[in-house]
Amino acid sequence: MLDSFVKLRENVLNYSNTDMNLVLQRDDQVYIAVADIPTHSGVTGNEYMSLAMVFGLNCHLYLSNGEAITGLEKDAEVMSAMQSMLISSHQVIKSMELTECPDFEPSKNRRVFLKTTKGIYYKEIDETRESLFLNMMIDNVLKCIGNM
């Protein structure tokens, strides 16, 4: 089941702005974000979920038990929160690490991947101001999903 979870999030990160016919204005514009979130729920068989957001297209949750919750972007509040995150997140890229390997790795902390035309940036959430900003935006999207 973890294999399908990993494959789903990998598919999102492999998607390009060219695939989307999306023209970007700047190299630091974020058009895809994936947040790996530990859930620590042995009861449901889900230890992790990935919140995957693609600018203007989709917002999905992938659960480590192999389940995918898709079509979340159809809710106007979720779409707005997702777009806000993608538009605002470029502000923290300078505090992130450019990575060649955006693989899923189990962690007790949230891990965020932001895709731009320059590549994929990575940050494990910690107590820095930039992390708190990313965390707040992720929580806002999750709150909107919870309100559906």
* Residue 91: DSSP 8-state: G
4 vs 133: which has the higher pLDDT: 133
Single pTM value for the model:
0.91
Supply angle C-alpha 102, 100, 124, rounded to 5: 45
Is the pLDDT at 44 greater than 70? The verdict is: no
Residue type at 115 in one-letter notation: K
46-51: average pLDDT: 87
Q: Strand (E) positions, 10-148?
A: 32-41, 46-54, 58-63, 68-69, 97-99, 111-116, 119-124
Contact present, 99 and 123 (Cβ < 8 Å): no
